[in-house]
């Protein structure tokens, strides 16, 4: 893969370019070479780069939350609630959509409720259940968060073509798919050993 990095700009602080003009982190490469006893570090370097990229995006997202105390998880739940047309969702539905535990979502909804961004309401079909919906304040919060977020992401992905972004999305989701497949295999193996 030639010319991945824009050679007109120097690499970011701490990064370098290899012979194919692809970025890498020399510090990470050195540490991983020691860890692997000199064997190929490419997959581990890719994992480290993915982690670094995730942290970079999350730092920007947290900054965009303007210190309002919303974690990435609470923000994800608020965005999911905001995507509905005012309908309320169960904790279970939110947990499945966010791929986290119901217990985790309960804590996130507690945070959103304390901030006045979401509210719990009785489930009209089940007296034992409650549903969660976004409040007007929550919609207003998302409205003020939307444009800065779009600008920040445009800056983070500056110079990326639509094809680059599609490839990046695809490769990241392949990592997720492989992880899920591996996790499923490990669970089956553990079950078979019991």
* Among 112, 115, 148, residue whose Cα is nearest residue 132: 112
Q: Are 138 and 81 contacting, i.e. CB atoms less than 8 angstroms apart?
A: yes
Given the structure tokens 């692809």, which residue do they identify? Answer: 22
Shared domain for 107 and 128, answered yes or no, is yes
Given the structure tokens 């893969």, which residue do they identify? Answer: 1
Question: Which of 64, 80, 105 corresponds to the end of one domain?
Answer: 64
Look up residue 36 and give its DSSP letter: T
Shared domain for 139 and 79, answered yes or no, is yes
Structural domain contains residue 150: no
Q: Are 45 and 32 contacting, i.e. CB atoms less than 8 angstroms apart?
A: yes
Predicted confidence (pLDDT) per residue in 59-78, tens digit: 777 766 655 567 888 889 99
Shared domain for 44 and 81, answered yes or no, is no
- Our count of domains for the chain comes to 3
Shared domain for 77 and 58, answered yes or no, is no
Structural domain contains residue 122: yes
Average pLDDT in the chain: 86
- Tell whether the model's pLDDT for residue 142 goes beyond 50: yes
* pTM of the predicted protein model: 0.71
Rounded to an integer, what distance in angstroms lies between the CA atom of residue 104 and that of residue 101?
5
Rounded to an integer, what distance in angstroms lies between the CA atom of residue 3 and that of residue 22?
7
* Among 110, 131, 134, residue whose Cα is nearest residue 122: 131
Range(s) of the domain holding residue 105: 72-143
Where does the pLDDT of residue 49 fall: very low under 50, low under 70, confident under 90, or very high at 90 and above?
Answer: very high
Tell me, what's the pLDDT at 65? 61
Structural domain contains residue 33: yes
* Among 60, 54, 52, 42, residue whose Cα is nearest residue 15: 52
Shared domain for 32 and 12, answered yes or no, is yes
- Tell whether the model's pLDDT for residue 155 goes beyond 80: yes
Predicted confidence (pLDDT) per residue in 99-134, tens digit: 889 999 999 999 999 999 999 999 888 888 899 999
CATH number at residue 83: 1.10.10.10
Predicted confidence (pLDDT) per residue in 127-138, tens digit: 888 999 999 999
Tell me, what's the pLDDT at 99? 85
């Amino acid at each position: 893969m030639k010319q991945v990095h824009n050679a007109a700009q120097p690499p970011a602080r701490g990064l370098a370019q290899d012979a194919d003009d692809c970025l890498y982190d020399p510090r990470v490469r050195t540490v991983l070479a020691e860890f692997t006893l000199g064997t190929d570090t490419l997959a581990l370097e890719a994992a480290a780069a993915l982690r670094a990229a995730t942290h970079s995006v999350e730092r920007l997202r947290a900054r965009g939350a303007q210190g309002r105390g919303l974690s990435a998880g609470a923000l994800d739940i608020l965005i999911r609630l905001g995507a509905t047309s005012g309908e309320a969702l169960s904790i279970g539905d939110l947990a499945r959509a966010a791929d986290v535990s119901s217990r985790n979502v309960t804590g996130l909804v507690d945070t959103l409720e304390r901030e006045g961004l979401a509210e719990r309401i009785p489930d009209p079909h089940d007296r034992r259940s409650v549903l969660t919906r976004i409040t007007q304040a929550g919609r207003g919060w998302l409205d003020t968060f939307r444009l800065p977020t779009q600008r920040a992401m445009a800056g983070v992905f500056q110079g990326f073509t639509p094809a680059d972004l599609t490839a990046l999305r695809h490769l990241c989701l392949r990592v997720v798919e492989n992880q899920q497949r591996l996790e499923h295999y490990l669970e089956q193996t553990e079950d078979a050993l019991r």
